[in-house]
Amino acid sequence: MPEPHTLTEQQLKSELKAAWKKHEKVAREEMGPLLYWLRDKLRAQGSRNDIHDKDRGFGAWVEDNLDISRRTADRWADDYAVKAGLKAASTSGQVSKSDEELYEEILANHQGKQQIAFNTWVPTSVHVQFQKALTTLQSKFGVKNKKEALVRGVIYAATTIDRSSGKVVGRVSLRKHSRTAKSHSQLRARKRTITRG
């Protein structure tokens, strides 16, 4: 393999994918049996201790100690169990995929689209206002999907602000803007009255 600093971005990505596939295969084969039996023992212990979530110990341990997701750990354990005859193969016909393959599949399914990710904490009073506003947007646009209503509402609000304020889209409060406009017109009216007098 050539020196990494001489490779293009695409070549680096290809090399990383190849290295990951090689190491994932080795890790899966070595860790699969260990994960399966650890999960089995923790499940048995959980059922003896009356723990409501019998998989809590396994999932928590994986997330705290390994650099793989809980889903990947379960998949590797299940692959081992099927190969060892401890578990019947899945009848869904779905082939086990690596995290990378699943990610590529998600991107392919949404080709030509961009994701809008948004998560924030607000005071309860603001949350109540937001829920009411969202219901209003769903009604206005005739959509049941809250995310679609939110996207349409943001675009609609920005377009409306853009039209009404001379392309100043960055205003936070419409009330403040309308009060300012109103007070300017009141000042002009007073000025005319004083000038006439």
pLDDT tens across 89-113, in order? 876 555 555 666 777 777 777 778 8
The total number of structural domains that make up the chain:
2
Q: Go through 162-192 and write b for each residue having 16 or more CB atoms within 10 A of its CB, e for each that does not.
A: eeeeeeeeeeeeeeeeeeeeeeeeeeeeeee
Residues 94 and 164 both lie in one domain: no
- Two tokens at 184? 């300017």
Question: Does 22 reside within a domain?
Answer: yes
Q: What is the pTM of this model?
A: 0.42
In a domain, 181, yes or no: yes
Does 26 reside within a domain? Answer: yes
**Same domain assignment for residues 57 and 128:** no
Residues in the chain, overall count? 197
Q: Is the pLDDT of residue 180 over 50?
A: no
Q: Does residue 154 have a pLDDT over 70?
A: yes
Higher pLDDT, 138 or 166: 138
- Per cent of the chain over pLDDT 90 is 19
Tens-digit pLDDT profile for residues 112-125: 888 787 778 889 99
What six digits make up the tokens of 154? 């943001």
**Which pLDDT score is estimated for 62?**
87
**Domain check: are 100 and 186 in the same one?**
no
Higher-pLDDT residue of 49, 10: 10
Q: Is residue 92 part of a domain?
A: yes
Pair (40, 92) in one structural domain: yes
Of the three residues 79, 109, 139, the one that is the final residue of a domain is 109
Please check whether residues 105 and 132 belong to one and the same domain. no
Statement to judge: residues 75 and 28 lie in one domain: yes
Q: Which domain holds residue 153?
A: 124-196
The CA distance from 143 to 135, in Å, is: 10
Between CA 135 and CA 128 the distance in angstroms is 11
Residues 145 and 173 grouped into a single domain: yes
Neighbours of 93 (CB within 10 A): 6
**Is residue 115 in some structural domain?**
no
Q: Looking at residues 11-16, what average pLDDT do you find?
A: 86
33 inside domain:
yes
pLDDT band for position 81 (cuts 50, 70, 90): very high
Which of 27, 9, 26, 104 shows the shortest CA–CA distance to 69? 27
- 104 and 36 in one domain? yes
38 has pLDDT over 50: yes
- Is there a domain that residue 119 lies in? no
Residue at 118 is within a domain: no
Q: Are residues 105 and 10 in the same domain?
A: yes
- pLDDT at position 88, please? 85
Provide Rg for the chain, Cα atoms: 29
- Do 98 and 147 belong together in one domain? no
Question: Do residue 99 and residue 129 come from a single domain?
Answer: no
pLDDT at position 32 is: 92
Stretch 139-144: mean pLDDT: 90
| pLDDT band per the 50, 70, 90 thresholds, residue 155 | very high
Statement to judge: residues 52 and 92 lie in one domain: yes
